Amino acid sequence: MSDYPKDLHPESLMMSYGYKPELSEGALKCPIFQTSTFTFKSAEEGKAFFEVAYGLRVKEPNEELGLIYSRLNNPDLEILENRLTLWDKAEECAVFESGMSAITTLLLEFLNPGDYVVYSAPVYGGTDHFINHILPRFGIKPIGFRAGSTKEEIEARIEKEKAAGKVGLIYAETPANPTNALVDIAVLREIADSLSTDEKPVYVVIDNTYMGPLWSHPLELGADFVIYSATKYIGGHSDVIAGACLGSKELIGRIKGLRTFLGNMAGPWTGWLLMRSLETLKTRMEAQAINAAQVADFLRNHPKITKIHYLGFIDKEHPQYDIYKRQYSCAGAMLAFEIKGGEAEAFKFLNSLKLIKLAVSLGSTESLVQHPKTMTHADVDPADKEVIGITDSLVRLSVGVENAQDLIWDIDQALNKV
């Protein structure tokens, strides 16, 4: 890894970084290490590997953590983790068998009974469920704030719950799924710093799934962690479920510790598939964003569309525009829009599409469309849905790599049926 000059771009390194062909019979590509366990050269070596893995002693400066057992480490997992650090310029990465396992492992590691978790709304429905229905069973209470809230509004929410001194971490999804609402990461950093003490640091976690790893780097903007559902852009082909969490060596080390005992790490086959996907991440995402801009332009002027949530259309005078410019270098490939009418009209549209597939998930090569209110966000409190804009007529579209004119043709013909 150290042979490369520091200034090479991630897309140039994605085919080779972290892989040593000489350790795999010269194979150009990293093989799938489909093995549950690894042989030690000697009992002494096995002892040394375990001492480091279980934190019984610190690694010597040039000592590599030896391969032990695929729940702890595996070449496909480790090389993938090294490659994923490149886009976000992170010290360390932990990969999981799903985005939800990355999120839940992080929350369980850094929250304790009696803590509050401050979170932005909307968040992905699964995250919302875990924060509002599972964590309270362990004595951890949620404080939600609407994406787009000011610093004063978020602080007022914390004050109202008398939670100062008891906040464990601040969790935000930005851009938010499904409305593209933005949360100011610098503001969360300021709030976290004002609540932190030496004994109880308050961490900032950003789920960057909706934008993907290319055009925003939350760690550089003040977050302690960035989370991905790697099922989305990183995997990108709707054929694998996975998740990733990135941050400092120390904090990701703690997450990997809990992952070892929960046993929710990604397996070698998942690791291999994601490495393959990473090679084309930039090319795919750029093509998707270009298509999304054309689809958004078409929808903007359509008489049957009453509202469109697309980052490229934020009014320059709106407070969200300043956040957009500071945090993102592209509008991405996710859109949501409201169809004139309600659920019946939205469903008619969804049922009439021919090329675009009606399925949840996002960030894939094929365009996917779904109805957040009754699908991905079905479980969100109805009152919250109203406030955060998840309405009966809202449809979410993840734009793929197809021909943009074909996508527009499909959307047009389906809208004509409404």
Ligand X SMILES: Cc1ncc(COP(=O)(O)O)c(C=O)c1O
Number of residues that bind ligand X (CB under 6 A): 15
Nearest distance in Å: CB 38, ligand X: 28
Nearest distance in Å: CB 301, ligand X: 29
For the beta carbon of residue 235, count every other beta carbon within 10 angstroms.
25
For the beta carbon of residue 58, count every other beta carbon within 10 angstroms.
9
Q: Residue 177 interacts with ligand X (CB under 6 A)?
A: yes
| Sole binder of ligand X in the list 206, 241, 251, 395 (CB under 6 A) | 241
Region from 119-127, 188-196, 214-222, 350-358 binding ligand X, contact rule CB under 6 A: 119-127
Q: What gap in Å lies between CA 339 and CA 347, rounded to an integer?
A: 10
Q: Which of residues 265-324 bind ligand X (CB under 6 A)?
A: none
| Sole binder of ligand X in the list 88, 184, 207, 224 (CB under 6 A) | 207
Q: Residue 209 interacts with ligand X (CB under 6 A)?
A: yes
Nearest distance in Å: CB 19, ligand X: 25
Q: Do 92 and 81 form a contact (C-beta atoms < 8 A)?
A: yes
Site string for ligand X, 85-114 (x = CB under 6 A): -------------xxx--------------
Residue nearest to ligand X (CB): 99
Residue 241 or 292 having the CB closest to ligand X: 241
| Sole binder of ligand X in the list 31, 126, 201, 222 (CB under 6 A) | 126
Residue 85 or 127 having the CB closest to ligand X: 127
Q: Which of residues 348-367 bind ligand X (CB under 6 A)?
A: none
Residue 232 or 415 having the CB closest to ligand X: 232
How many residues are recorded in the chain? 418
Residue whose C-alpha is closest to residue 346's, from 313, 369, 378, 380: 369
Region from 23-31, 42-50, 207-215, 216-224 binding ligand X, contact rule CB under 6 A: 207-215
Cα atoms found within 13 Å of the Cα of residue 400, Cβ hemisphere only? 19
Residue 177 or 367 having the CB closest to ligand X: 177
| Sole binder of ligand X in the list 70, 216, 229, 398 (CB under 6 A) | 229
| Sole binder of ligand X in the list 85, 105, 132, 231 (CB under 6 A) | 231
Residue 158 or 333 having the CB closest to ligand X: 333
Residue 242 or 295 having the CB closest to ligand X: 242
Q: Residue 132 interacts with ligand X (CB under 6 A)?
A: no
Nearest distance in Å: CB 320, ligand X: 18
Residue 49 or 145 having the CB closest to ligand X: 145
Nearest distance in Å: CB 105, ligand X: 12
Token couple for 400:
């793929």
| Sole binder of ligand X in the list 115, 173, 345, 410 (CB under 6 A) | 173
Nearest distance in Å: CB 399, ligand X: 15
b/e for 189-218, b at 16 or more Cβ within 10 A? bbbbeebeeeeeebbbbbbbbbbbbbbbbb
Nearest distance in Å: CB 269, ligand X: 16
Q: Residue 370 interacts with ligand X (CB under 6 A)?
A: no
Rg (CA), the chain: 22
Q: Residue 124 interacts with ligand X (CB under 6 A)?
A: yes
Chain residues binding ligand X by CB under 6 A are 98-100, 124, 126-127, 173, 177, 207, 209-210, 229, 231, 241, 243
